[in-house]
Amino acid sequence: MVAAIWFGLHQPSEKAGPAKTAPSVATRSEPVVNPLEVRQREAMDQADQHRASGDLSGAAQLLQSAAALNGPLSAEIQTKQAEILAEVNDAKLGTLRRNEEQAWQSAKKDVDAGRFSSAEKYLANILAMPEGGLRRDDAKKYKDQAIPQRKQEESWWARARKDSEKNDLGSLKHADDTLAQIIQLGGPRKSEAEQLRQTVEGKVTSLGQQQQREQQIADLRAGARRDLGQEDLSSARQKVDQIKQAGGDAAALSSEIEQAEARHQSDTEFQQIVQRYQGANDKNGLEAARNSFQSMAQGGGAHTAEARRYLGEINSKLAALKQEAALPPLQSAAKVETPVLKIDERAAISNLVQQYAQAFEQRNADALRRIWPSIGNKYDKYKQVFALAVAFRMDVRVDSMDVAADSQSATVKASILQEYTVRGQKPMSHSDKAVFHLLRSNGTWVIGDVQ
């Protein structure tokens, strides 16, 4: 019955050719249904089934009740009543039409169920029957039009179901378009297509939101890593919180930030110890610096090797102080003014030059400004250069060192080898000469200028 109603609603006019694709859903208009017509159509279908089983009396009663409705199919009902009367009066004709109706009912069921080969056999039997049958035209239309359309519908349905099971927007949108064609066709799959289309549209919406959220998280991760490269740890932390709020996994990024914070704290502590050491001018100051370097060397951090090197310098200086203090005072008739004991500044100056190289290798413009207070506009320039680089290595070899007599200024000439890699490019190297002009400020050596 479903196929018969569907087929009746989709018969092309004699002038129109078979459509290859269904029109857009937006242009489809639903047919107006007359309740009396529906009731009469159902009664006629039931009467056909009674005729197929040989129950002509039951078929006649159904048609009589349908005619009493006075619906739009009354004329067609009268025609069927006349056909039944002819079959009652002619047993041979009745047998022919009963066999024909049985084949017709079977063909319709097979078409509805998608058993097209079986349906085509029944339709071929109808077309091969002798004159006197009533279903020849219907069988021909089913064979030439209804079955091809149903095959197309089933093909679309199989493709739409396959695409609907995927989880990419392209496949889901393709499924949505195919289901729209099935719905427009109005065949037996229409109801299922409408339900599946709702599911597909829900998946499209959900997947779109998921992709938008994943892109947001990816952008936040990239921004946080840029912040890490620029040592803006506060901004990086804010982005981590936003990633968590968006449902993303920020564990690895949080670990990177914690490591960066630990490195920053270690660098700050080490620089403070170095400055105190550089400002030490007596035994007590040197011993305090030695204790601090010992703690850092035992901690096993990034500055372990440097701390051990400073310990060696301090131990040498303390040994020299001890040796000089043990010498007996010189006896002289004349009053001799004993000069104030001065510590060799060369180790502190060499350390300052190495801090300059370390600031470049760490790509840390702030560390560079701490040892070069008068850096001025060059600070922004170096910060931009460091942001572009993904790796930086600098070797500084001191060629000569000239310390002023008052130990308040010094000039260092050095050879510099730089190796650096800019993001997206191959590593590059450069060698040059440099002159460091150093000043002593509040007991600490700092860079005045680099040429």
Q: What is the mean pLDDT of residues 63-70?
A: 91
pLDDT at 10: 42
Q: Are residues 42 and 179 in the same domain?
A: yes
In a domain, 64, yes or no: yes
Give bridge partners of residue 435 from the DSSP assignment.
413
pLDDT at 355: 92
Give bridge partners of residue 389 from the DSSP assignment.
422
The pLDDT tens digits of the residues spanning 258-307 come to 888 887 888 888 888 888 888 887 878 888 888 888 888 777 777 888 88
User: Is residue 5 pLDDT above 70, yes or no?
Assistant: no
Q: Are residues 37 and 106 in the same domain?
A: yes
| Greater model confidence, 448 or 17 | 448
Q: Are residues 315 and 355 in the same domain?
A: no
End-of-domain residue from the set 154, 173, 189:
189
The pLDDT tens digits of the residues spanning 325-342 come to 766 655 544 444 434 434
Q: Are residues 314 and 373 in the same domain?
A: no
Q: Are residues 286 and 384 in the same domain?
A: no
| Mean residue pLDDT across the chain | 84
Q: Are residues 96 and 179 in the same domain?
A: yes
Distance CA 258, CA 263 (A): 9
Nearest to 45 by CA among 96, 95, 101: 101
Q: Are residues 184 and 41 in the same domain?
A: yes
Coil vs helix vs strand at 328: coil
End-of-domain residue from the set 140, 172, 189:
189
pLDDT at 48: 92
In a domain, 194, yes or no: no
> Where in the sequence is the domain holding 295, given as residue range(s)?
265-323
User: Is residue 18 pLDDT above 70, yes or no?
Assistant: no
For 169, the enclosing helix (H) or strand (E) is helix 169-185
Q: Which percentage of the chain shows pLDDT scores above 90?
A: 43
Side-chain half-sphere exposure of 447, counting CA atoms within 13 A: 27
End-of-domain residue from the set 168, 189, 210:
189
In a domain, 417, yes or no: yes
**Residue 441: CB partners within 8 Å, gap ≥ 6?**
373
Question: How many domains, in total, are found in the chain?
Answer: 3
CATH number at residue 423: 3.10.450.50
Q: Are residues 56 and 132 in the same domain?
A: yes
pLDDT at 327: 61
Side-chain half-sphere exposure of 57, counting CA atoms within 13 A: 0
In a domain, 252, yes or no: no
In a domain, 118, yes or no: yes
In a domain, 23, yes or no: no
Q: Are residues 44 and 179 in the same domain?
A: yes
In a domain, 42, yes or no: yes
The neighbour count for residue 75, using CB atoms within 10 Å, is 8
The pLDDT tens digits of the residues spanning 381-395 come to 998 888 888 888 888
Q: Are residues 275 and 364 in the same domain?
A: no
Q: Are residues 433 and 300 in the same domain?
A: no
pLDDT at 253: 86
Scan for tokens 């859903």, then name that residue. 25
Q: Are residues 37 and 183 in the same domain?
A: yes
Phi, psi (degrees; rounded to nearest 5) at 152: -65, -40
pLDDT at 97: 92
| Greater model confidence, 319 or 285 | 285
The pLDDT tens digits of the residues spanning 377-432 come to 999 999 888 888 888 888 898 999 999 888 889 999 999 998 888 877 888 888 89
Coil vs helix vs strand at 113: helix
**Residue 443: CB partners within 8 Å, gap ≥ 6?**
278, 279, 281
User: Is residue 20 pLDDT above 70, yes or no?
Assistant: no
In a domain, 206, yes or no: no
